[in-house]
Structure 1
Amino acid sequence: MWLNSALSLLPLAVLAFALPTKDCELKVKESVVPPATWTKFGAAPPDHMIKLRIALPQSNFRALEEHLYEISNPYHERYGAHLTKEEVEALVAPHPESVDSVTNWLSSHGIGEGDISRSPAGDWLIIEAPVSLIETMLDTKYHVWKHATTGEYLVRTTSYSLPKYLLDHVDLIQPTTMFGTFRKLESTIHSISSTEGQIQSLDLAPIVDSATGITVDGSCNSTITVNCLKQIYNAVNYTPSADVGNSIAVTGYLDQFANFADLQAFYADQVPAAAAANATFNVVSIAAGNNSQDPTQAGVEANLDVQFAFGLTFPVESTFYTTGGLPPFIPDVRRTTNSNEPYTEWLDFILGHPNPPLAISTSYGDDEQTVPLSYAQRACTGFAQLGARGVSLTVSSGDGGVGDSDPDPATQQCITNDGTNRARFPASCPYITAVGGTKFFPEQAASFSGGGFSDWFARPAYQDSAVNAFLGALPNGTYAGLFNASGRATPDVATQSEFFRVFAGGVARQVQGTSAAAPTFIGIVGLLNDARLKKGLPSLGFLNPLLYSQAASGFNDITVGSNPGCGTPGFNATKGWDAVTGLGT
């Protein structure tokens, strides 16, 4: 029941009379230019229910950020001294005045405490209400919007207002101005119909990288397996443990289901010890997320993530998070709610978890241009909270090359809301490790590897030296005006991302994309965490300050390849950090 029963009986005139004059002084809180790919389809149905999220200002996030950088800096005396859940929540809890002001405002619209859900730190309030009421509350008008390419629909507005006295007590309200399409990031998928029983080319001569001295099976240039990754990344003889408190997880969205039978087929094919142990993974449902075991519904993305992340780290405790969230609104199908922003659903859950997994990978994202700055900033602060608690987070950098925005079908140029190219979100969040893609051995850049510069987030200090060197080496005028040279740069690192042998629906397939790179990198992080925990050391936590300092010497610099996109040749992989493969592999 979304309406307070007592208030619902009062005439609207009485409610209006009860409100102080200042409540009626409205001011626009947020306004956006809708992306060119979305057009108005019609007025939103007044009885359409929306799950509305209200973000209250976090009281002391800057202090949390200071803690995060200190405990993530290998040169600082506090390195590895991760914060507790309670310490983090105390730093981001809203001021009581904000809580009271917003609660009273909701009450004035008939929404009582029993109708409000609150995040663990109290910095998010969630209600469900019909469009008609929300339009009154926010002095706005919702419409149904249609995407020109996908045919998807959203219920959104381009501007909303609040009473002036509330402006400093609310960071943002969504879904209002967010036009994200939130999709998985694999580039292409195709079946291997002729190699069902075995991996081909086993008789090929081994490949030796003369620069590193590493030797890998000859088959690894046509089929990537767990053994190939362990060979390429020097982890062949490392055996992790199941009893040192280590843990790893991957996230699943958009009805992507991870299939247990496919995992067993994968293990039988590539990780015999896991197959012999009948190893599996935990499934945690968030917001009514499903994990159907119907083989016809097996998700290639979900199977890719769990098979390689967990195959690399067996027997470490592993978890698949399946987060619910309906597809965008369909005008001719009645929906009770409209939710396609599952990041915050997952963040609410994981931030409330007393012991979240120590390493988590995500292979989903949005074009940064479709995500309002306010929303991106708040989701990003959630990732920072996880980092402060000792959790390492990786995200695919995207599969569209440079810019990685939706290109115009006719020109292949990327047309954004304001005419500039942008990065992917959440890869552009500075508290996450963005993972680009490579191929072959010796490695070179994958052409689809997403990379570039954020318009929403400034470049963090830990990147300055590496990125400035890259920018200084660019020929004068290269892509002048097409990217924000002072923005957060992506990717941070890269791994293999082509020819991954994945089982889905009982069939072996090959998958390519940075969605393969992110779980691969988190798998290696899981092994490093295992080594640290065995020595009584804390988990690695937020990785980037370490990666751009001491750990940089442990990377293989990728200097071959580029990432064309948006009608341009893209950036080149060069010596040092680059906007194709980051620091390397």
Structure 2
Amino acid sequence: MWVSLVSLLPLLVVAFALPSSDSEHKVKELVVPPRGWSIHGPAPLDHLIKLRIALPQSNFQALEDHLYEISDPYHERYGAHLSKEDIEELVAPRPESVDAVAQWLHSHGIQDEDMGRSPAGDWLTLRIPVALVEKMLDTKYHVWKHAGSGDYLVRTTSYSLPKSLHEHIELIQPTTMFGAFKKLKSTIHSISEADATIQTQNLRPIVDAAGVTVDASCNTTITITCLKEIYNAVGYTPSATVGNSVGITGYLEENANRADLQTFYADQVPAAAAVNSTFKFISVAGGLDSQNSSLAGGEANLDVQFAFGLSFPIASTFYSTAGRPPFIPDIGTPEDTNEPYTDWLDFILSHPSPPLAISTSYGDDEQTVPESFAKRACAGFAQLGARGVSLTVSSGDGGVGDGDPDPATQECITNDGLNRTRFIPGFPASCPFVTAVGGTIHFPEQAVDFSGGGFSDYFARPSYQDAAVKGFLSKLPKGTYSGLFNPNGRAIPDVSAQSDFFRVFIAGTPRSIGGTSASSPTFAGFVALLNDGRFKKGLPSLGFLNPLLYSKAASGFNDITVGSNPGCGTPGFNATKGWDAVTGLGTPNFAKLLALVT
């Protein structure tokens, strides 16, 4: 049974919010402290917070309308992507909002030169001490400690604004966000030793029912060659001169090691090794480019090696976004950091020519991210899609659950104070403007048991999913998992790809890595190849993929009908004919997709 959070407000305000001394203030946002977090002590008044203020975007509905038209392969505007300037005009806040917020900030001694502004002016950023933030937001910050990880956060559970400002400010963070954005959960499932060489002796090639032939070693070791064989891309040669590009986002101080990339290329992409191919590095918000081999990141190396290995010689970029736990009580007042997704979005939206296919292999449980923040970040992803960028995101490694064995967080229990058992969707995979990528294993392919899948509690099911998802739901026995998921929510994943036994080089040594961390960069690599085919015919980039995938391109996928994604003490959902909440539409058949999109 759903209970409105509004019914809990009186109790929570008394328990967690500073009583208001200004009768004109009204609570803007309030949350229940998530399980595992407890107050460690008061926040130091001189602790600096990088406060981000979101002003309502004046015409986001028009932007969304544009996005769906230019992403619909049957619409006359298909592929007519918007410019950076077009986007900024649509999302710029109303002048009255800009003025009202500026006056409020001036009243607290904050001048225009103290603020950073996004290109569209819809985000304001300022670095101010806790004492001032508490006064401005009529609240009280504390240092919170997480029982399982030992991490600390400086947060509040409620903040207020003058009533007259509620229509002019959409949200302010970091305030009520207890998610792991300061320390994103990589969706790598496992890392283990790998053989120095791939064992292929006395193994017959595997031939599936469709006649596709794949080297037998691909059932225990995934390489670039395996992926091209499994997904029907053998012999396709992309160009380096048609203006194409692909990118990888990196967080958690994960470093993509260039020496490891060369070793990987020598092992699997000799043409790239022959020309010493590498990636462009871009630092976001102070992200580092350490090339110390002992600090090589398994996630970053996996992502760049396979996305760039598949797409070579397409121009490649690795973004390193800084982000560490923002507070350590024993060292006083350190530099604060903000949620890395917003730092990266700020940067990439200001960039005149972002990569045209970008993969992210990091995420968090949707319920740990305030809904207001999730929806605003999702709107940023929509802006990129409208500019012709395809975004792929790992669907997660917990099946229908959160995959977290930490007893302090109690897997599959809601964070709303009611402690209900609930399937746990992931964010940003739940954003309808990204392409969520689930996982498969072996050949012939089947769903891998950790493939994240399910239904969002924040985002309604987009129309492009209606037919496919309703078909899936109609096949579920009546009452299956009743109350455990939102059948009207945005469904996850959209597609899938191989996600285990990836042969990755870390500090010069081959490792075997599994997780939907592998499937997202793999899918992005194939998207880059599809863009290559389009550019060679004078067509624009694919941009936001999902309306295409669920319509014209649906026949370009290998339907996965074996496997399931257990979690939360249940068997999870089953892979079945058509779309399912384990593998989505299935895995790509590159040759078929290329014919469909060119």
Shorter-chain TM-score tier:
over 0.9
User: Deviations for 1:201-229, whole angstroms, at most 9, x for unmatched residues?
Assistant: 3541100111x211111100000000000
Q: 1:288 corresponds to which residue?
A: 286
Q: 2:592 corresponds to which residue?
A: none
In the TM superposition, 1:458-469 aligns within 5 A as 458-469=460-471
Matched, 1:316 2:318: no
Select the residue among 435, 446, 449 that pairs with 1:447. 449
3-state SS, counterpart of residue 558 of structure 1: coil
Distance in 1, Cα, partners of 2:178 & 2:337: 12
Q: 1:7 corresponds to which residue?
A: none
User: Deviations for 1:318-355, whole angstroms, at most 9, x for unmatched residues?
Assistant: 00000112224221123433325110110011101111
Q: What is the number of residues matched between the two proteins?
A: 560
Select the residue among 566, 569, 579 that pairs with 1:567. 569
In the TM superposition, 1:383-422 aligns within 5 A as 383-404=381-402, 406=404, 409=407, 413-418=411-416, 419=420, 420-422=422-424
Distance in 2, Cα, partners of 1:410 & 1:28: 29
Contact 1:436-1:517 within 8 A present in 2 as well: yes
User: Deviations for 1:207-257, whole angstroms, at most 9, x for unmatched residues?
Assistant: 0111x2111111000000000000001111100000000000000001000
Distance in 1, Cα, partners of 2:176 & 2:403: 18
Amino acid paired to 2:363: G
Distance in 1, Cα, partners of 2:410 & 2:37: 17
CA drift of 1:415 comes to 1.2
Change beyond 3 A, Cα 1:411–1:56: closer
Distance in 1, Cα, partners of 2:113 & 2:198: 58
Distance in 2, Cα, partners of 1:328 & 1:128: 13
3-state SS, counterpart of residue 550 of structure 1: coil
3-state SS, counterpart of residue 262 of structure 1: helix
Select the residue among 303, 306, 326 that pairs with 1:305. 303
Q: 2:91 corresponds to which residue?
A: 92
In the TM superposition, 1:532-551 aligns within 5 A as 532-551=534-553
3-state SS, counterpart of residue 168 of structure 1: coil
Distance in 2, Cα, partners of 1:140 & 1:465: 46
In the TM superposition, 1:106-117 aligns within 5 A as 106-117=105-116
Change beyond 3 A, Cα 1:305–1:202: farther
3-state SS, counterpart of residue 165 of structure 1: helix
TM-score, with structure 1 as normaliser: 0.94
Change beyond 3 A, Cα 1:129–1:501: same
CA drift of 1:411 comes to 11
Q: 1:208 corresponds to which residue?
A: 207
3-state SS, counterpart of residue 225 of structure 2: helix
User: Deviations for 1:288-328, whole angstroms, at most 9, x for unmatched residues?
Assistant: 00020000000000000000000000000000000112224
Select the residue among 483, 491, 494 that pairs with 2:493. 491
3-state SS, counterpart of residue 335 of structure 2: coil
Contact 1:202-1:217 within 8 A present in 2 as well: no
Alignment gaps of 5+ in structure 2: 1-20, 588-598
Change beyond 3 A, Cα 1:355–1:410: closer
Matched, 1:233 2:237: no
Distance in 2, Cα, partners of 1:82 & 1:480: 41
CA drift of 1:151 comes to 1.3
CA drift of 1:24 comes to 5.9
Distance in 2, Cα, partners of 1:495 & 1:133: 49
TM-score, with structure 2 as normaliser: 0.92
CA drift of 1:77 comes to 0.5
Change beyond 3 A, Cα 1:447–1:92: same
3-state SS, counterpart of residue 501 of structure 1: strand
Contact 2:464-2:547 within 8 A present in 1 as well: yes
In the TM superposition, 1:132-281 aligns within 5 A as 132-181=131-180, 182-192=184-194, 195-196=195-196, 198-210=197-209, 212-281=210-279
CA drift of 1:144 comes to 1.1
Contact 2:52-2:174 within 8 A present in 1 as well: yes
CA drift of 1:37 comes to 2.1
User: Deviations for 1:261-302, whole angstroms, at most 9, x for unmatched residues?
Assistant: 000000000000000010000000010000200000000000
Distance in 2, Cα, partners of 1:308 & 1:158: 41
Amino acid paired to 2:34: P
Distance in 2, Cα, partners of 1:330 & 1:364: 23
Q: 1:3 corresponds to which residue?
A: none
Change beyond 3 A, Cα 1:410–1:114: closer
In the TM superposition, 1:111-126 aligns within 5 A as 111-126=110-125
Contact 1:46-1:131 within 8 A present in 2 as well: yes
Contact 1:405-1:422 within 8 A present in 2 as well: no
3-state SS, counterpart of residue 383 of structure 1: helix
Distance in 2, Cα, partners of 1:326 & 1:110: 29
Matched, 1:329 2:296: no
Change beyond 3 A, Cα 1:382–1:145: same
Select the residue among 424, 427, 443 that pairs with 2:426. 424
Alignment gaps of 5+ in structure 1: 1-21
Distance in 1, Cα, partners of 2:432 & 2:22: 37
Distance in 2, Cα, partners of 1:396 & 1:101: 39
In the TM superposition, 1:51-90 aligns within 5 A as 51-90=50-89
CA drift of 1:72 comes to 0.3
Distance in 2, Cα, partners of 1:440 & 1:431: 29
3-state SS, counterpart of residue 169 of structure 1: coil
Q: 2:3 corresponds to which residue?
A: none
Distance in 2, Cα, partners of 1:444 & 1:335: 50
3-state SS, counterpart of residue 329 of structure 2: coil
In the TM superposition, 1:36-51 aligns within 5 A as 36-51=35-50
Contact 1:407-1:414 within 8 A present in 2 as well: no
Select the residue among 499, 502, 505 that pairs with 1:503. 505
Distance in 2, Cα, partners of 1:292 & 1:202: 39
Contact 1:54-1:125 within 8 A present in 2 as well: yes
CA drift of 1:167 comes to 0.4
Distance in 2, Cα, partners of 1:416 & 1:398: 18
